[in-house]
């Protein structure tokens, strides 16, 4: 069923509750052969350069399509586990004033341990593979970085080259790398705590942040063309080409296969 992903700022209380309850349920219940912690495992494994000598998820062209696939899979699993085919991942437009860190949504503690309320252990949330020795989700909003402004987003969206050699985090004239560093990394660092770590999906805001990153790529595609991924095909070692499968996803999960969100059964409003 096709869903429309909306801004977290527009959610009703019932929609917020449905979303966080599905996450909590997925922590302790498998769906489609996966559970919540599977996602944390994949994030840690595919952040690194894997044995195929490819960076699948970060610091490479496949940053956008890898996370698009990752979010689509989670959305599907959350629909399965909750039995609600209308469930969707909301996006957090961090240039706006609405915060997802409220008592009725992702929890209101933003300066250390989330020790009570939503996403605390007593609420039913547990950490997995934390590099910080604690059982409490950590957040340190604004300690390390500020939020990108709408002006910065506009500048980044203006880069017309999707990506180019050497296809890593040193490329200057690259929409992918500019977005990854100036917008994506910065918001991870703005939230801080676990969001700044390798195991960042421990914080549910990870999904709302990446949903917004995916929306920005979708907006960019609307201007530059849907099938504009680089590198195109078969010739570049060490990176995922347009028609190469992204691990750990099913065969055929290529950047090309997720370039158009229409067949992926979601859209943005």
Q: Which residues pair with 81 in a beta bridge?
A: none
Stretch near other proteins under the rule CB under 8 A, chosen from 7-15, 123-131, 225-233, 260-268? 123-131
Residues 147, 94 contacting (CB under 8 angstroms): yes
Angle subtended at Cα 100 by Cα 107 and Cα 56, rounded to the nearest 5 degrees = 100
Based on the shown chain and the rule CB under 8 A, indicate whether residue 155 belongs to the binding site for other proteins.
Answer: no
Nearer to other proteins, 108 or 134 (CB): 134
CA distance 256 to 258: 5
Based on the shown chain and the rule CB under 8 A, indicate whether residue 95 belongs to the binding site for other proteins.
Answer: no
CA distance 195 to 203: 6
- Report in angstroms how near the CB of residue 21 gets to other proteins at its nearest: 28
- Report in angstroms how near the CB of residue 223 gets to other proteins at its nearest: 22
- Report in angstroms how near the CB of residue 195 gets to other proteins at its nearest: 8
Q: Which of 134, 164, 243, 245 binds other proteins (CB under 8 A)?
A: 134
Based on the shown chain and the rule CB under 8 A, indicate whether residue 240 belongs to the binding site for other proteins.
Answer: no
CB under 8 Å to 36, separation ≥6 — which residues?
23, 26, 27, 128
CB under 8 Å to 29, separation ≥6 — which residues?
35, 81
Q: Which of 122, 133, 235, 237 binds other proteins (CB under 8 A)?
A: 133
CA distance 38 to 130: 14
Stretch near other proteins under the rule CB under 8 A, chosen from 15-23, 26-34, 99-107, 178-186? 178-186
Residues 18, 84 contacting (CB under 8 angstroms): yes
Residues 142, 163 contacting (CB under 8 angstroms): no
Based on the shown chain and the rule CB under 8 A, indicate whether residue 232 belongs to the binding site for other proteins.
Answer: no
Based on the shown chain and the rule CB under 8 A, indicate whether residue 93 belongs to the binding site for other proteins.
Answer: no
Nearer to other proteins, 24 or 184 (CB): 184
Nearer to other proteins, 8 or 156 (CB): 156
CA distance 164 to 179: 14
Based on the shown chain and the rule CB under 8 A, indicate whether residue 253 belongs to the binding site for other proteins.
Answer: no
Kindly list the residues in this chain that would bind other proteins in the complex (CB under 8 A): 47-49, 55, 59, 112, 129-134, 138, 140, 143-146, 168-172, 177-178, 181-182, 184-186, 188-189, 192-193, 196-200
């Amino acid at each position: 069923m096709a869903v429309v992903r909306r801004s977290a700022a527009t959610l009703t209380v019932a929609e917020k509750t449905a979303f966080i309850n599905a996450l909590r349920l997925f922590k302790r219940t498998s769906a489609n052969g996966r559970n919540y912690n599977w996602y944390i495992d994949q994030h840690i494994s595919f952040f690194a350069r894997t044995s195929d000598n490819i960076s699948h998820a970060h610091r490479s062209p496949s940053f956008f399509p890898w996370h698009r696939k990752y979010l689509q899979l989670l959305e599907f699993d959350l629909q399965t586990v909750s039995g609600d085919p209308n469930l969707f991942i909301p996006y957090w437009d961090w240039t706006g004033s609405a915060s997802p860190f409220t008592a009725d949504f992702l929890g209101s503690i933003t300066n250390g341990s989330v020790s009570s309320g939503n996403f605390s252990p007593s609420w039913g949330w547990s950490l997995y593979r934390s590099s910080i020795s604690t059982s409490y989700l950590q957040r340190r909003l604004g300690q390390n970085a500020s939020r990108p402004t709408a002006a910065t987003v506009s500048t980044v969206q203006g880069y017309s080259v999707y990506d180019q050699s050497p296809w890593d985090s040193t490329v200057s004239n690259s929409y992918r790398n500019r977005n990854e560093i100036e917008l994506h990394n910065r918001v991870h660092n703005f939230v801080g705590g676990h969001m700044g770590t390798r195991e960042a999906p421990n914080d549910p805001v990870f999904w709302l942040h990446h949903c917004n990153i995916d929306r920005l790529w979708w907006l960019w595609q609307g201007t530059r063309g849907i099938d504009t991924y680089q590198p195109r095909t078969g010739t570049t070692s060490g990176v995922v080409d347009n028609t190469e499968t992204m691990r750990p996803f099913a065969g055929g999960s290529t950047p090309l296969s997720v370039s158009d969100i229409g067949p992926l059964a979601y859209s943005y409003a």
